[in-house]
Structure 1
Amino acid sequence: MLNKILSCGLTGNFGYFHTKISILYGTKIVSGVNYKKKGHLCLNLPIYSSSFKSIKTTKCKISIIFIPSYYCKNIIIENIYSGIKIIICISEDINIFDMLKIKFFCQKYKILFIGPNSPGIVIPFYNIRLGIFPIKNIKIGELFILSRSGTLSYKAIKVANKLKIGQSICLGIGGDLIIGFNIKKFFPYFIKLNLTKKILIIGEIGSELESQFLKYKKIKIFFLISGIFSPLKKKMGHAGAINNKLNDILKKIKKIKKKFLILNNLNEIILIK
C-alpha cells in the first residue's frame, strides 16, 4: 500500500489543491502528467509528458485522475498500458460509452478501478489519502465506511468522530451511473489488510450494492439505505437511483434485516460502537 503514486491533473487548480493536501497528510505522490508543462516542477514534483514516461521513471503502480471527463478515457487507458494497477478516478460524468471501454480494459488487465465520480480512498493507518476526502475528522480506528455518495461518507465520518469511532478505510466507489469498481473481486483485498472489524455500507434505493455483501459473515456489517421515502418512479440525482415500486425497497430491507442491522439515520452510528 505504500507504493508511489502518479497524480494526473496535478497542474490544474483542483488537482493541485487536493494533491497538496494528500502530500501534507503523508501520501507518497511522486509525479504528475501534462504534455504542455513537461519538464516543469509542480509542488516540487516532476511533470512528465505522458503516463508511460512517468511510470517508467518513477515506477508508479497507482494513479489518481483529476482531469476533465472528456480526456479521461485516453489517459486511463494509457495508464493501464503503462503498468498502473490501481486507478482512482475523481472526475465525474464520463461519457457512458467511454466508461464501458474503460471497464472492459480494467477487467481484461485486472485493474482495481475506483470511480468515476469518487471522493477517493483514505487509509489513516498508512497516511494514505487519494482523492478529496476532508481529513479533519478522520481518525485511526476499526470502522470501514463504504459508499457511493461522497457527501454521506463525509457526514458519516463526522458523526463517527464525535462518537470517538475511528476509521480503518474510507472508500467512495463512485457516484456515476456506471462505475468500474468490482466489489466481489476486490473487496476481499481490503479486508485482508486486517485493519477492519466493522463495516458501514451506505447504500441507496436503486442499487444492488448491498446484496453483494450479504455473504460476509465473519465481520460485523451495518447498513444505511438512503432515499427510502423518495417519490415512486422519480429518478433521483445520485447515480440514477430510482424506486420503481414501493415493494422493491421493502424487499431489499427485508432481505438485509435477516442477517444485518440497518441504521435509520447516521446518528445511529452509535450502535456500531
Structure 2
Amino acid sequence: MRQIVFCLAVVGSAVLISMPACANDEDPTLIGIGLRVRPAYEGANSNRGELYPVLRVYRGPLFARTTQGKLEGGARFSPMRGLSVGGQLAYEGGRLADESAFLKARGNPTVDEGLSIGAHVEYDTKVGAAPLTALARYRKHIDSDRGAQADVRVTLGFLDKAGFTAAAFGQLTVADRKEMRGYFGVSPSVAASSGLPAYEPDAGPRFLSGGVQGGYQLSKGFLLIGSAEVHRLVGDAASSPLVQRKSNGYVGIGIAYNL
C-alpha cells in the first residue's frame, strides 16, 4: 500500500508540474526522495528505515506536498491574502505487526495503512522577517475501522542565509474514540491470546510533536534536505499496553530538485 501511494504521489506531482504555474504560486517547487528512520509503530521500542517522497508542488488551486507532516494532495483557494482553505487526500500510516517483534510475539493484529479525506485552513504571515505558518487540519480515515483526527501545526522559519534554510515546528494531534481504539486499543479477544490487558482508550489528545526541518542549496537545481522530530504520546494513547515508549524520534535526509 505504501509503495503504491508513494508512486501515485510522484506521478500526480509530475502531472501538476507539467501544468503552467500561476503568478501567485510563490513557493518553489520541489520533487525528490529521502531516507528516514521512524518507529515501527507509534509507541514502539524499535525503529525501521524507509524511503519517502519529498514533494512541494503548487499549481493554481491544486497541490501535493510532504512539508506539513503528511503526504497529501488536494485543492484549495485563497479568500484573502495569506489565508488558504481547502480539502485534501492524505496517506495514513498503519501498525504493521511484521515490523515489530513485540507485536508479532503477542499476536497483535495489523492496523492497515490507508487514506484519509479532510479539510484544512492555513495562514501564512511573518513575525518580523521570519515566515510563520499556522495550519488547522481535519482528517477522516476512509477505512470504516479507523476514525478521525485533527491537527494544529505551527512552523516558524529562523534561518535563511548562505544557502541554508531552517524552520522549527510544533504540532498537536487529537483523535476520536474509533481512531484511538483502532490503533491503541486491545480487545478482550486479543487480550486473551496476547497476555496484554484489555484496553479501551477514549477520544482526546494523541500526541505532541516538535522538531526542525531545513535544507542546503547544493546547486541551482538541487537541494539537500533534512528533518528531526520527536513525537510524545499523551492522554489515553500514552497509557496503552501496546506502548513501549511514550517518546519516539523521526530523522530523515533527502535530496530534491528545485524547479
TM-score, normalised via structure 1 length: 0.30
**Of Structure 1 and Structure 2, which has the larger fraction of its residues in helix?**
1
Greater relative contact order (Cα 8 A, min sep 6): structure 1 or 2?
2
As a proportion of its length, which structure holds more strand?
Answer: 2
TM-score, structure 2 as length reference: 0.31
